[in-house]
Amino acid sequence: MATISPSMVQQYASMTPAEFGKSVEPKWKVAERLVGEVRAAVEKKHLTPLDGARVISSITATLFGYDEFILREFSPEALLANSMGSVRR
């Protein structure tokens, strides 16, 4: 039988403030370094700003247990069409 562990959100919700700080600090330091690398890559045009945002989203999802946010490019016209149910793919 497989062992089921609580989600990261559930784990964080059950922590005391001191436990939370001890748990998050090492991950925050890693994230800070990685985000700095992504920022530099965007500034040097090795990544587009959108790709940089996607990488940062993945970093936070992996380190902190959040579902990855999928960043999509869209136009006001496409948004309106989607809300009216008229977009065909």
pLDDT tens-place string over residues 25-61: 998 899 999 999 999 999 999 999 999 998 988 888 8
**41 touches 52 (CB < 8 A):** yes
Q: Is residue 45 part of a domain?
A: yes
- Whats the size of the chain, residue-wise? 89
Residue 1 pLDDT level (bands cut at 50, 70, 90) = low
Q: Is residue 34 part of a domain?
A: yes
Written in H, E and C, the secondary structure of the chain is CCCCCCCHHHHHHCCCHHHHHHHHHHHHHHHHHHHHHHHHHHHCCCCCHHHHHHHHHHHHHHHHCCCCCCCCCCCHHHHHHHHHCCCCC
Specify the pLDDT at position 4.
Answer: 64
Q: Is residue 12 part of a domain?
A: no
Q: Is residue 7 part of a domain?
A: no
Q: Is residue 51 part of a domain?
A: yes
**Residue 41 lies in domain:** 17-84
Q: Is residue 5 part of a domain?
A: no
Q: Is residue 2 part of a domain?
A: no
Specify the pLDDT at position 30.
Answer: 93
> For residue 79, is pLDDT > 90?
no
Structurally, the chain folds into a number of domains equal to: 1
Q: Is residue 3 part of a domain?
A: no
